[in-house]
């Protein structure tokens, strides 16, 4: 009888351990990209250093550098690296302008994909970007960039959320800077993510 109860107790412990492992795996899957899908990678090359438009810009819509596979759709990039730089550094991102572009970019700080469970809310710009920028400095450092969310410093290990919006597109993407090289190379991991509930066009219908 004691042996039977011992076997039952062992079976219960085994089931509890399996449940804990499954829960942890599910949690890690959600954290590794909201839906658990793996991130893609891309390497961008500083526009200032390499003077190569296609290799400096990336289209999250098409999943390619610049428009290298679609030359007829040139200037459809969403993100550029090493272009606009308020302090002369190579490591800056800027978003596209033109085509009623209203995209916004935000630095979320030092994060890994396992730390991300939800898409942060980031409203698109109320007015289209015209390509004009202004910078405020203090003791040689940039303290304010206007308009906000258009020209953001690239920092290794930081996660970014981007609300891509123009006359043809409206979606969210998140990416992480995996490495920055002195010669002007920036490797990112990225994935398109669902918009937060508050930024869905039909969000009001749920209330």
Across the range 24-36, mean pLDDT stands at 45
Q: Tell me the pLDDT band of 120, cut-offs 50, 70 and 90.
A: very high
Residue 200 tokens, joined:
């869905």
Please enumerate in sequence order all residues whose Cβ is within 8 A of that of 161, keeping only pairs 6 or more positions apart, or say none. 105, 106, 108, 119, 120, 122, 172, 173, 174
Across the range 173-195, mean pLDDT stands at 93
pLDDT for the residue numbered 132: 64
pTM of the model: 0.74
User: Which of 56-65, 93-102, 154-163, 165-174 is predicted least confidently?
Assistant: 93-102
User: What is the C-alpha separation between 187 and 17, in angstroms, rounded?
Assistant: 38
């Amino acid at each position: 009888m004691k042996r039977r109860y011992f076997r039952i107790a062992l079976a219960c412990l085994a089931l509890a351990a399996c449940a804990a492992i499954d829960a942890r795996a599910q949690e890690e899957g959600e954290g590794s990209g909201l839906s658990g899908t793996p991130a893609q990678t891309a390497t961008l090359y500083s526009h200032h250093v390499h003077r190569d438009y296609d290799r400096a810009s990336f289209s999250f819509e098409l999943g390619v550098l610049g428009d290298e596979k679609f030359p007829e759709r040139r200037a459809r990039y969403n993100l550029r690296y090493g272009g606009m730089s308020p302090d002369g550094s190579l490591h800056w991102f800027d978003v596209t302008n033109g085509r009623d572009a209203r995209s916004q970019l935000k630095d979320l700080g030092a994060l890994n994909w396992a730390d991300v469970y939800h898409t942060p809310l980031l409203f698109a710009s109320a007015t289209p970007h015209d390509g004009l920028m202004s910078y405020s400095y203090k003791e040689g450092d940039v303290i304010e960039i206007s308009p906000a969310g258009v020209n953001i410093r690239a920092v290794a290990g930081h996660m970014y959320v981007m609300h891509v919006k123009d006359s043809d597109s409206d979606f969210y993407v998140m990416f992480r800077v995996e490495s920055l090289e002195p010669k002007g190379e920036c490797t990112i991991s990225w994935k398109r993510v669902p918009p937060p509930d508050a930024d869905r066009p039909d969000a009001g219908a749920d209330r």
